[in-house]
Amino acid sequence: DIYVTDYYTAKPVKAQDMTFVTGSDVMGPMGNEYVPVSDDKVKTFMLDHKGGKSVKFADIKAEDLSGEKAPQHKGH
């Protein structure tokens, strides 16, 4: 299992159970972040922090995180 920290509760939760918001005014150490929030807080977060897009964990691809296609390695 992969765990992330819920933005509002600061508690560890399974990433699969969260919605991630990007394009907001919440910045992390490497710039714009995918911020994990519970489904019932997505609208609030998007309004309060000018969120641009919400996505479930299963729908996030490597190229979404890097801004470019992830390299493909044979045998991996």
pLDDT of res. 70: 43
Is position 50 within any domain?
A: yes
52 found inside a domain: yes
Average pLDDT value for the chain = 86
More confident position, 57 or 65: 57
Domain that includes residue 24, residue range: 3-57
**Better-scored residue on pLDDT, 51 or 73:** 51
Q: Is residue 35 part of a domain?
A: yes
Q: How far is C-alpha 68 from the chain's CA centre?
A: 17
Give the mean model confidence (pLDDT) for residues 51-73: 75
Q: Is 36 domain-assigned?
A: yes
- CA distances, 73 to each of 14, 49, 61, 69, 76 (Å): 28, 37, 16, 12, 6
**Number of helices (H) and strands (E), helices first, in the chain?**
2, 7
**In this predicted model, which residue has the larger pLDDT, 28 or 59?**
59
Band of pLDDT at residue 75, cut at 50, 70 and 90: low
To the nearest 10°, report the CA torsion of 32, 36, 37, 38: 160
Q: Domain count of the chain?
A: 1
**What share of the chain has pLDDT > 90, as a percent?**
67
